[in-house]
Amino acid sequence: MDETPTWRPGSLTGNSELCFSFGVIADIQYADLEDGYNFCGSRRRYYRHSLNLLQSAVDEWNKEDSQLEFVLQLGDIIDGFNAQHKTSESALRRVMNKFKKLRIPIHHTWGNHELYNFTRDYLTQSELNSKSLEDQIFLGSAASGQDSPGATAEEHYYAYHFSPVPKFRFILLDAYDLSILGRDKSTQKYQDSLKLLKEKNPNENLNSPTGLAEPQFVEFNGGFSQAQLDWFNEVLTFSDTNQEKVVVVSHIPVHPGSTESVCLAWNYKDALSVIHSHQCVVCFLAGHLHDGGYYLDSHGVHHLTLEGIVETPPESHAFGTIHVYDDKLVLKGRGRIPDKVMYYTG
């Protein structure tokens, strides 16, 4: 039965050895604006206060012991409203100034709000491109982050992998590789994405899932190109061969059990198919759904969706530290994020 593993007495340490730890935070969506609400008008968003929550998360991480190796920022770092107010660059600068107080590396994923504010070309040249932290191992022709040798910068996908310690690997995926957000309209990938989206979503408002058989096909989601999935498969094959455990990172979740259907990647089934064809993946980390979610799938992969900072009241919080052991991942959550023990099942 798919369920959250029980927290066993002494399981935080038990007989297993702590290998390393890392921080996780999602959907900061900072803007220098008064509080607002989500698109449905049902959830309050604390745009300005999100910066204070980030600062306190940074302070907490800096207090943690030397086992903290890095932080994963799971996307939507500033809110799309910044684009309307022409404050995108200043808002990003304010958030990055907070992150710069960390004494460890930060790995950034890109969400829909990054692409409301900036083009992919801008993001590639910005501090939100953390690809310089990737492992420099050769994995063949699919490892370059582009669809073909002639692909332009606008066609590339933003994905990479790294290994903080032997036998553990992290893979950051680009969930907006297929998307009409942030891409030049003249590119083939934009045209293909628009065609796919309109085939699946006949609504005049492409952000509306009304009446859709596949509600994930809305403009604020995206998907993975075949080239990226081929690259993903190559990295997982490498990890299988080298008996590594892998954590996959994406802004958008890929399992229906860990999110609402309207917050899934367009071709989530393709991503799951790649994951399930390998033995090495132990966890899939995502943001996007501000309520968070969790599911242990039939292949033993833990799908953890992090609660979002932007909808977190000032008196609460929403970040975590994940402690990596040789037999489990232990999430120590703050505020809205609950503690969780995730055992490796393989």
Q: Is 323 in contact with 21 (CB distance < 8 Å)?
A: yes
pLDDT (0 to 100) of residue 149:
42
Q: What is the distance between the alpha carbons of residues 6 and 254, in angstroms, rounded to a whole number?
A: 24
Domains of the chain: 18-343 (3.60.21.10)
| CB proximity list for 89: less than 8 A, separation 6 or greater | none
Q: Which residues of the chain have pLDDT under 70?
A: 1-15, 65, 138-155
Burial grade of 30 (CB within 10 A; 0-12, 13-18, 19 or more): buried
pTM: 0.93
pLDDT value at residue 62 = 94
pLDDT confidence of residue 39: 77
Within 10 angstroms of residue 237's Cβ, the number of other Cβ atoms is 15
The residue written with tokens 């002639």 in the block is 150
pLDDT given at position 151: 53
**Confidence (pLDDT) at 188:** 94
pLDDT of residue 138: 57
Burial 76-92 (b: 16+ CB within 10 A, else e): bbbbbbbbeeebbeebb
pLDDT given at position 2:
41
